[in-house]
A and B are shown apart, each in its own frame.
Chain A
Amino acid sequence: MLEVKDISKLLANIPKGAWVALSRDQDRVIAYAPDLQQVLQKSKDAGENDPIVTRVPEAGTPTLFL
């Protein structure tokens, strides 16, 4: 917990605006979906009940966060 890795390469091929569930070690995308509820359900189905969730920036927003 606390430290954040550069996940930009992990998110490179995921649709813009998608919600993403990441593994606890931030090394793997578990699931992605258009909304948060779906991505949490997909992650649970994949066996991860507590993924780190974030969102792929929309088109035209080159930065990962703000």
Chain B
Amino acid sequence: MAIYKVAYAEIQVAATPAFPNGRSIRRPVLSLALQNGARRLSCYSVVDSGADYCLFPLSFMQPLGLNPLISPVDTTSGVGSSSIPTHFSNVTLDLGLLQFTVYAGFSPGMEHLGIGLLGQVGFFERFRITFDYANKLFVLETH
């Protein structure tokens, strides 16, 4: 069993009308790499208990050598969007000391974010995950 203790990403955000004093946002984000054979792409991904699957921007497929034209399609929905065509493929997640393959979606709905989501199927099913917001830490523990 392996245990990964990861600090929350802390992001300072400038003042807005809703938050006139600015704010600091904490998010459970990982820096990881996607791999398909010898092809590799490193990115940030949010550990997102609200996501059913792992999801990445559609444009990540090309550098990984994945072809959306022959990848099966389903639709996904999120905040402000619905029925977004999403292409699914197996891809390896490289967390450094641990690598595993997930069946992940690649969606145009993730393009504007440029990051991934690590969801229930493929990610949460592999770990016991503890979110310790007060102590600015989240813990991934392999089953």
Contacts and interface: CB of A to CB of B under 8 A. Distances in A.
- Dominant SS among interface residues on chain B: strand
Nearest to A24: B42
Contacts of B115: 54-55, 65
B70 interface: no
A63 interface: yes
B31 A1 contact: yes
Given A1-B31, A2-B31, A50 B42 contact: yes
B60 A52 contact: no
Interface residues of A, number: 27
Given A53-B43, A65-B46, A8 B12 contact: yes
A65 B11 contact: yes
Interface of B: 4, 6-7, 9-14, 16, 25, 27, 29-33, 40-44, 46, 57, 59-60, 62-63, 94-96, 111-115
